[in-house]
Structure 1
Amino acid sequence: MNQYLNKIALTFLIVFSAVSCSDFLDVVPQDKILESQIYENEAGMQNVHNGLYLSLANNNLYGRQLTMDAVEILGQQYNMPSSHTKNKMASYAYAESNPKAVFSNIWEEAYKTILYANKFLESMDEHAGIVSQDKADLLKGEVLGIRAMLHFDMLRLYGPIYKVSPAVLAIPYYDKPVTVNEPLLPAQEVIVKILADLDTALTLLHKDPVLTTGKYTPTSDFDGNLYYSKNRGNRMNYLAVKCLKARVLLYSGDKTGASTVANEVINFVKSNTLFPWTPFLEATNAANPDRTFSSENFFALSDYTLYTKQRDLFDSNLKDTQIYAPILTRLTAVFESNDNDYRSLPSWKVPVVGGKTQKTFFKYEDVDEKTKLFRLQIPMFKLSEMYLIAAETAPVAADGITFLNTLRFNRGLTNLGTTANVTTEVTKEYKKEFIGEGQLFFYYKRINSVTIPNGSAASGNLTMGAAQYVVPLPDAEINFQN
């Protein structure tokens, strides 16, 4: 990864015109001058901070590969037979050129963004006093949450099946902007570091405006500077960090801890009106459907090229060898032949152009009203996941059914019976709830499901194991570690 670090440092300097690379390259003192100029004022700090979110929306991260593309292919969300351009990835042929390049790019972009985050944190400390403590805490808390999130998703993708092999070497953890490569750590040690970052982030974010005014309404706090209080739903805010902590705890096998955190989020939402369930008429509105249930999203990533990606992946004019679309019988099975599900009708339709007879994906299609706040957003952490975690970790099965029925009611479905199997029903909801959001494959890996539905066949399952669930580290990283 050394070749990445030098290139990353230089890129950071050029792209953001913000953070010095002198610490990395140890050349050109002018870089240090540039850093001082950037961090000598509040606007410069905000510019670099905002750049981190632009990095998260990169195609190699949550703008595509970690939400609607690569990890969804691994989760068998689409039909990709032998004639499809992405068949090798759907077949878990990680040594083939296309999958190998895709996952190498994901790795490089993730660790590049981690370096950005670490450099930002270091520079904030070096230039303490430029902004108030409350402002600094908010900025640093968000960035620590981002750092933890990126490491966690690298662990989920490239690390072992945690349920089986938590002590196996997994990924490096970078908590400082260094040029030396860090060694691979056992997966369980990575989890410890992630949770430590999240706990620190929660402490720093304890005054987050998202807790008092919600996702979009600014406050007069922070000296009236709206950068810190408006659009909190597009930031790694306090509630998003809480959701991530619940996700991490569950992945690590700590069901009690995950249950506690998920219920804390649920009880917070119940105590106010800041994050209401999205009603049917808004989710299915003919002209402006809120297909991502935006009122329930604690953090949604802004992606100003989202509709280009919608066209590139899901447009009905694409050839059958290119389009990302499921086999109809598979999609029907996911939604249990129930088009009353709010997640089905607005996001899955037979298109009127392109000659396709199967339903295609419209979740990220643009809406008529261009002022809608939910436009250009990809869900990252949302209320429904907290209900699913609470259901899965409930000590009493009846309580698990209650959590599931709350989610089902708010998706237009009838209640489950008291004898329903919680695990089975949670799996069904993951299949429905997170299409195009990149969570299903990680769910299968977390529970170590030995078979999953074959997305490229009308029926039948694929046998899963470490060869399928564990993406190999990129060659550059392997060469260094060896």
Structure 2
Amino acid sequence: MKGRIWIWNILALICLTACDRWFDVNPQTEVKQKELFSTDQGFYNALMGVYLNLSDPELYGGELQFGLVDVLAQTYSISNTTGGGSAYLYAVSYDWNNCKTLFEPLWEKAYTQIANCNNILKHLEGNRGLFPEGNYEIVEAEARALRAMLHLDLLRLFGPSPAGGMSKPAIPYVDAVVTVPFPQLTVEKTLERIIGDLERAFDLLKVNDPYFTGIPDGEFDFMTANGFRQNREYRLNYYGVSALLARAYLYKGDKSKALEYATKVIGADYHFTTQEEMNAMGVTLCYSEIISGIYLKNTLLKKQTEKWFSENAGSTKLKISSAGVETLFEVASLGSTDLRKKNQFGSRENENEVFLNKYFTGSLLPLIRLSEVYYIAAECAEEHE
């Protein structure tokens, strides 16, 4: 789908809406902006606000997680008799004009969070003295990584394929808080900006991220005093940014660089979840495989995903055929005992249709999984050799 179909939306929003109004802490005046960013805690709160807002149903709490993107991948059995709202029906048949109700909110909310990242980066300038050593760099790195990740997903959805389309117009790369339109960049230029942000984030985290460097003996209390450096395992930390770089370089077609960054994650302390771990945690998501993820705002997964996966979901119901699951897990050969097949799917209305169960427990959703990194490495390894 060509990005120009919806390009007027973001240009109009940038021209007519001040980025300050987009900031989700909801300051109404510049005075409140200055108050918010007058302490390091204000920056931490603003950054966490972006992570939380990524869990909106229009973004990674729905359409970019298991909704629209999986509909386009033809994961589900969608017809006018098996559920799936009319917009999904149009999307699966590539009738873009009739599924704008799916794409336009996604586009707008993604650029809203990009604007929030830009706002954080804008106010960082000249405020290094507010932060304990290393925290300024972590905030900058994560804001840049979030901005790059959102642009990359928008590019993959709305831009031409890099294969033969590098010089074609794609999307705007919005990297500043201004009220003038941003130009529509080519795929090549957009990828340059994305990778540039991610490389900068990687360099900052390589030196300052305690999830990678560790915390020196005797400095734990000092470095974790305000909680910002705690619980970093699911943020866009050193390994999360490495995985994003692997994703971006593979999309660009640079398999050597993609493998380089994928290997950094594979060599770290991540592993595929066992049945025993899944039983012990009482959840159906494989937490040990999540490199970076987000928590939902004020709700649990089951409540948010009922729109798609409950028996009473109605027109937005998403189902998978039994035959499709058997093909996916290679049941005829080795997959009949696969723990994901056993734990993450369940029958509902009849034996020929199944639903995803894996989003029915907990409140954590993955942004990047270990499996993706292995797929990237596998795709790149033979050519690299």
Q: Deviations over 1:323-361 (max 9, x none)?
A: 20111111211111123112211001224xx56652211
Is 2:19 the counterpart of 1:9? yes
Paired-residue identity, % = 28
Q: Deviations over 1:429-466 (max 9, x none)?
A: xxxxxxxxxxxxxxxxxxxxxxxxxxxxxxxxxxxxxx
Letter of the 2:313 partner, please give it. L
Relative to structure 1, is the Cα distance of residues 210 and 173 closer, same or farther in structure 2, using a 3 angstrom cutoff?
same
3-state SS in 1 of match to 2:366: strand
Is 1:222–1:228's contact at 8 Å kept on the other side of the alignment? no
Residue 358 (structure 1) aligned to one of 326, 341, 353 = 353
Residue 44 (structure 1) aligned to one of 20, 42, 55 = 42
Q: Mind listing any 5+ residue stretches in structure 2 that lack a counterpart?
A: 1-9
State the alpha-carbon separation in 2 of the partners of residues 252 and 204 from structure 1.
23
The structure whose residues are more often helix, as a share, is 2
Aligned residues: 362
State the alpha-carbon separation in 2 of the partners of residues 186 and 357 from structure 1.
45
3-state SS in 1 of match to 2:194: helix
TM-score (normalizing by structure 1): 0.71
**C-alpha displacement of 1:204:** 1.4
Aligned to 2:80: 82
Letter of the 2:347 partner, please give it. V
Aligned to 1:329: 323
Is 2:145–2:197's contact at 8 Å kept on the other side of the alignment? yes
3-state SS in 1 of match to 2:96: coil
State the alpha-carbon separation in 2 of the partners of residues 194 and 221 from structure 1.
35
Aligned to 2:209: 208
Is 1:210–1:233's contact at 8 Å kept on the other side of the alignment? yes
State the alpha-carbon separation in 2 of the partners of residues 221 and 275 from structure 1.
26
Aligned to 2:95: 93
Aligned to 1:157: 157
Letter of the 1:307 partner, please give it. K
3-state SS in 2 of match to 1:395: helix
Relative to structure 1, is the Cα distance of residues 221 and 158 closer, same or farther in structure 2, using a 3 angstrom cutoff?
farther
Residue 288 (structure 2) aligned to one of 282, 286, 295 = 295
State the alpha-carbon separation in 2 of the partners of residues 55 and 181 from structure 1.
24
Q: Deviations over 1:39-67 (max 9, x none)?
A: 11222222211111122112221111111
State the alpha-carbon separation in 1 of the partners of residues 122 and 186 from structure 2.
26
Is 2:63 the counterpart of 1:62? no
3-state SS in 2 of match to 1:363: coil
3-state SS in 2 of match to 1:344: helix
Is 2:76–2:318's contact at 8 Å kept on the other side of the alignment? yes
Is 1:138–1:208's contact at 8 Å kept on the other side of the alignment? yes
Relative to structure 1, is the Cα distance of residues 127 and 89 closer, same or farther in structure 2, using a 3 angstrom cutoff?
same
Is 2:11–2:182's contact at 8 Å kept on the other side of the alignment? no
State the alpha-carbon separation in 1 of the partners of residues 263 and 287 from structure 2.
20
3-state SS in 1 of match to 2:100: helix
Residue 340 (structure 2) aligned to one of 333, 340, 343 = 343
Is 1:198–1:245's contact at 8 Å kept on the other side of the alignment? yes
Is 2:22–2:115's contact at 8 Å kept on the other side of the alignment? no
3-state SS in 1 of match to 2:336: coil
Aligned to 2:122: 122
Aligned to 1:382: 369
Aligned to 2:6: none
Cα RMSD over matched residues? 2.3
**C-alpha displacement of 1:290:** 4.0
Relative to structure 1, is the Cα distance of residues 222 and 104 closer, same or farther in structure 2, using a 3 angstrom cutoff?
farther
Relative to structure 1, is the Cα distance of residues 119 and 10 closer, same or farther in structure 2, using a 3 angstrom cutoff?
closer
Is 1:289–1:346's contact at 8 Å kept on the other side of the alignment? no
Aligned to 2:271: 276
Relative to structure 1, is the Cα distance of residues 220 and 288 closer, same or farther in structure 2, using a 3 angstrom cutoff?
closer
3-state SS in 2 of match to 1:298: strand
Relative to structure 1, is the Cα distance of residues 322 and 2 closer, same or farther in structure 2, using a 3 angstrom cutoff?
closer
State the alpha-carbon separation in 2 of the partners of residues 212 and 340 from structure 1.
39
3-state SS in 2 of match to 1:171: strand
Letter of the 1:39 partner, please give it. F
Further displaced range: 321-330 or 252-261: 321-330
Q: Mind listing any 5+ residue stretches in structure 1 that lack a counterpart?
A: 21-30, 367-374, 400-482
**C-alpha displacement of 1:212:** 5.0
